[in-house]
Structures are given as structure tokens and as C-alpha cells.
Amino acid sequence: MITVSDSDNTGEYITSMTNNKANIDSSDLLLLDTLQREGRIAAVELAKRVNLSPTPCTVRMRRLEKDGVITGYHARINPQALGQALLVFVTVSLKSTDEATLKAFNAAVSPVPQILECHMVGGGFDYLLKIRVTGMAEYRDILGGFIGALVMVESTHSYFVMEEVKESPLLPIPHVKDTR
């Protein structure tokens, strides 16, 4: 868990992770916001945008990577360009929710590349899956041939996306003043 505080009302926000590995100030927050929007930004340009010289900016970036605040960099790919037009959310209810069953389900779904996300949730079902496939035939193979065939699965419900209204990997960064 990360906490953000402005205890002296100076506008200087200090963030810390519960394991006290990362202390994040307002410059770090601006750096994180800029990087998540423009991951390929040149180091010199990044430093200019966050009002630091290049060396301290790079040191901060490496510290945030080392502390696990920045977990990676990637390119966003248009799924339509790869023929992966069908997006489906699937709810999964298990027969049992003991630790061994949960671990077995997690291990079973983790290597399946079409399952983009798997979330254990509280409420009327146990897991919510986000699945991206080329079409109904591939989806049917995954649902019937794989998910439904897992011995711990009691039931599934599928929700087919008709239109993607909003999809974003960007996290809201607390108290970042946009200076651009």
C-alpha cells in the first residue's frame, strides 16, 4: 500500500510504501506521470519536463525502478491490428475456495496468453477474467476446452464487449500539476 501525505500543507507530497522502501516526493510524482504517458521520452527531455538536471532525474528513475514503483516499460499494441477483435470478461465460480484450490486455479490460468487479466474478487463469484481472442471459435476453445474443463470450476458467465468505451493503463497520480 502506498500512502501520500501533505502534513505541513506545503504542496510537497511525500509518499511511502508500507515496507518503507520508497519515499516519493512531488518531483517523483511528476516523473512517474510523464513516464507512464510517454515511456519512450528521451532522458534529457524527461529531465527538462520534471525540472531536474539529467543526472538527478536518471538517479530518481533508477531508484523508482529498484524500489518496484516502476515495474516495467512496454508498447501498447492495437489488438485489431493482430486480428484479436473479441474481448470477453468471464466470471468464474469455484467449487471450493480453500488455499490449495485457489493456488491451483491461479497456476492453471497464468500461462494462458489469451487471458490478459485474472482477478480474485469478493462478491457473487470468485474470479474475473479478461480474455482477448481472434473470434468466437478461439474463445469457445478456451472456455469449453480449458476453463470449463478445470475440475475446480463450478460455473462461468461470459460478457462480450460490444464497444470499448475507455481503456487506459494510466494510473491517477496524486497531486500532479500539469505544467505542459
Cross-strand partners of 26 = none
Q: Report pTM.
A: 0.79
Q: What's the rounded mean pLDDT across residues 115-142?
A: 97
Give, for 113, the enclosing helix (H) or strand (E). none
- Helix H segments across the chain? 26-37, 43-49, 54-66, 99-109, 136-142
The ranges assigned to domains in the chain are 2-66, 79-160
Options 3.40.50.2300, 3.30.1280.10, 1.10.10.10, 3.30.70.2170; CATH of 2-66:
1.10.10.10
pLDDT tens, residue by residue, 142-162 = 999 999 999 999 999 999 999
pLDDT tens, residue by residue, 85-108 = 999 999 999 999 999 999 999 999
Cell triple for residue 9? 500543507
Domain 79-160 has CATH 1.10.3470.10: no
Residue type for position 66: K
Task: Identify the band that residue 131 occupies on the pLDDT scale cut at 50, 70 and 90.
Answer: very high
Looking at residue 173, the DSSP 8-state letter turns out to be P
Hey, do 2-66 and 79-160 end up sharing a CATH topology, with the first three levels equal? no
